[in-house]
Chain A
Amino acid sequence: MTQVPLGEEREVKRLGGATLDGASIALVVALAAVVAVLSFIPFSVMLGSGGSIEMSEGIYGLIGWILGPIAGAVASGVGRFVGVLVAPHTAGVPFVSVWGAAIGSFAAGSMVLAGQRRLWWIPLTVLFVTAYLLYAGRAIVQNGVGLWPAIGATFLDWSGVLLFALPTRRLFVHWLKSPNLGKVAMGLFLGTWMISGLTHVNSGAITYFMYNWAEEVWIALIPVIPVENLFRCLIGMVIGTGVIVGLRAIGITKPDHAVY
């Protein structure tokens, strides 16, 4: 600084105002509204069951990286809940859709590099591995689905779990924090792939328990799911890059557990 301040330096802290786990309630509400609105905007080629995915599925990770795990889960969960109410055709099983949104953002927000929360990935990994075993394991062991069809159709799920459990999780965080927008975009793309995988494995474990689809369906899903997920990654990257650039530019105080 060219001018030396004469006054005493003071501790700056936000006083009053409602916050949720260090994130301003106003921000939580705003992002929940974004999730709700994006819930009824479709954005993908229609390869699967004749419907397309909604854009909100591409930003669950972004919400968690902006707000932190708890506020992110609340924003995504509430937003998806509203989205399910106003656009029920976009949710196969409504409560599963809400759960998937919340757990995805929670996982994203837990990707911190320091502090006590840096160990949250361990129990979460246990949860996700368990979900995968319930999902693919049920198919293989109980329903006789072939090993390779099951592995092929769950590529998104196991790749997501692996990316989360391995140091790639920390690499994505470094990219998200980078001033290089190219790295931010890459972190958003691959991070969204990972979070979508985690969301999918949690949702799939419940949904498969309810519907037990046949091996032929598993085989058909092998090419479909990854292609659909590429669209989620594109959504997360395009929207997320702009949002992160904007948040940095306006200098708004970051939520306490923001990852970006």
Chain B
Amino acid sequence: MSSRRTQRSLEAIAVLDRVSYVYPRSREPALSNISLQIGKGEFLGLIGPTGAGKTTFCLLLNGIVPQFYGGRFFGRVTVAGLDTLEHPISRLAHHVGLVFEDPETQITAVSVENEVAFALENLRVPREEMVVRISWALEAVGLRGTEKRHPHTLSGGQKQRLAIAAALALQPELLVLDEPTAQLDPEGSQAIFAIVRELNHALGLTVVMASHAAEELAEYADRLALLRGGELVQIGVPDEVYGDVERLRQNGVRAPQVAETFCLARSKGVPVLRIPVRIEDGLALLRNLPPRRPPAGGRAGEAHGVREIRLSEGGQLEGGTSPAVRISHAPGSAAEGVPAISVRDLHHVYPDGTHALKGISLDIHGGEYVLVVGQNGAGKSTLVKHFLALLRPSQGQVLVGDTDTRELVVSDLAHRIGYVAQNPDHQIFSATVEQEVGFALRNLGAGEGTVRAAVDESLAAMGLTSVRGQHPLALPRGDRARVVIAAILAMGPETIIFDEPTTGQDYLGARAILGISRTLHQQGKTIVVITHALHLMPGYAERVIVMREGAVILDAPIRQAYNDLDLLASTHLLPPQVVLLAQALGGKHPEWPLLTPEEVAARIAEGGGRRCGSESNARRSAGRCRNGSAER
């Protein structure tokens, strides 16, 4: 905290003066009357829902907007004293480095050092200087020693670091990153934030980063600019911007969970003067809140704020004044009868010798909502592919119902298990939404009447009836995901697998897709979700399977799993901030399975301030959030 700057430099590296921009063939502006200055050495975070204009803002800073796209441009943008409309992009590239969301789309060379050299070659940097800069840039991002490696052998986080190195090699004064961690796992994401922070602090590099990672931006950014509908809604320090939870909510943006929690606590009468936006501040505030008077007739222990809270069979909290959350169970779901999916001592070895799954055994019963978590390479996708018969076990058995998947082909399972990929665009290929939804049924020989009925029902279920004649790729991303889900629903599967459904989505988009999963679950479907976004899943998932290096290391109810901080840390997964707050409130006790901001806020409101228990545990985990991964 002491290393954070609270005042930006008086000298501006970039100035936007009443900037508006309209893309070609578009009626509405992507940016509208934006005026702001970015100080030298500042870390400016850009936040806002999808479509707010964050990417357009990033592209403004090096002239890609509008020189590459055309369109109509109003106002003025100057970067390092250069007007971005009067200087070519190649000139601006000396001053502005740009890193995009998907590392795969940015890397073109066949070796790490060639990738870093590419821009330097294009700008005719002398060879001797190129060698020096390549070495320096790779050192700065922790990729020294990988010079000769092919980029495709790097992990996602390493690829993104390579993209940053390629931008750094130009020695820009301003580094612009457009959602650089959206496609990365938590470990990779932490590494990127750590590197960017280091570049900002150690080198004084000005950073502009568009991101939905609220907890990290609260930690690192000097200022935040909130965009919505192309307009600058608010600009200020993180405490101001993230502390105004209600305004963020109105603008479709998620605040850090610690801020959400204390905002709720305040609404319940807890005297919170200033909403904390960082976990350390939240933990400190917990220590300093005055204890609340226990209600008359309260049970023993309540004077110290310790309250017994239990989960009923129906998943409702008991013991609180009112349950803060109900866990929805699909009617008739129970761990009895033939499981929907059974895995028995499953091993899978890929042709290259990679032992991807090591003796996994588990059952998924009909009507369950299961979360599968773990770092990239843990084996999550490999496991799920066995459910779909896309992979065959090297050893062991996978049963769908009571049928061994070895006896089935993929098309046999199409009616039983649906799969929604991480990028819905990879599953869309028809010219209209209607054709897309009916494609599989037609392929399987269903009659036209059957197809039409199933398509109509699916479209209605996903709210896509009005766009049935449109090209799927012309729809917004969230609707494209709905198209894929509708196509799957048309097949009538009992089980639906969502692979990283919230990646690349803003808060509202993520909630919308998870809302669909909950609706399907309440209709009796079995839901399996693979995700890194642990903070979004309480209220949806009931059970968590944690994987590491091809093995299941924990299979437990979500409340238990989320509170096992040491186990999550061993897989480089970060528990949601609210779990850390809950830990500080009452320790790791099975009867304290607080999981959501609502629950923790209610607990604070009931029990008040000073806590016992594993606050040190919580602070240790919070420290992991700050210090980044060990990958460097």
Contact = CB atoms under 8 A, between A and B. Distances in A.
Given A2-B28, A15-B86, A15-B88, A253 B69 contact: yes
A1 B22 contact: yes
Interface in B465-500: 471, 473-474
A249 B431 CA distance: 14
Interface residues of A, number: 21
Interface stretch (B13-21, B251-259, B264-272, B413-421): B13-21
A3 interface: yes
Most B CB contacts (10 A, CB to CB) among A3, A6, A7, A253 go to: A7
B88 A8 contact: no
Given A7-B18, A7-B20, A7-B75, A1 B29 contact: yes
B66 interface: yes
A16 interface: yes
Nearest to A6: B18
Interface in A193-250: 245, 249
A249 B425 CA distance: 14
A17 interface: yes
Interface string A2-39: 11011111111111110000000000000000000000
Contact of B90 (A9, A17, A252): A17
Contacts of B230: 3
A253 B68 CA distance: 6
Contacts of A115: none
A251 interface: yes
Given A7-B17, A7-B20, A12-B72, A1 B27 contact: yes
B33 interface: yes
A139 to B, nearest CB: 45
B89 A17 contact: yes
Nearest to A16: B88
B76 to A, nearest CB: 7
A175 B296 CA distance: 81
A5 B230 CA distance: 12
B124 interface: no
Contacts of A12: 66-67, 70-73, 85
Contacts of A5: 18, 20, 29, 32-33, 74-75
Given A16-B91, A17-B89, A9 B72 contact: yes
Contacts of B89: 15-17
A252 to B, nearest CB: 7
Contacts, number: 81
Prevailing SS type, chain B contact patch = mixed
B119 to A, nearest CB: 14
B33 A7 contact: yes
Contact of A251 (B25, B28, B91, B471): B25
Contacts of B24: 251, 253
Contacts of A3: 20, 29, 32-33, 230-231
Contact of A7 (B22, B27, B74): B74
Interface string B85-105: 111111100000000000000
Contacts of B63: 15
B507 interface: no
Nearest to B26: A251
Nearest to A12: B66
Contacts of B20: 3, 5-7
B76 A251 contact: no
A103 B87 CA distance: 36
Interface of B: 17-20, 22-25, 27-29, 32-33, 63, 66-76, 85-91, 230-231, 471, 473-474
22 contacts: A1-B27, A3-B20, A3-B231, A5-B32, A5-B74, A5-B75, A6-B74, A7-B20, A9-B73, A10-B76, A10-B85, A11-B85, A12-B67, A12-B72, A12-B85, A14-B67, A14-B68, A15-B85, A15-B87, A15-B89, A16-B89, A253-B69
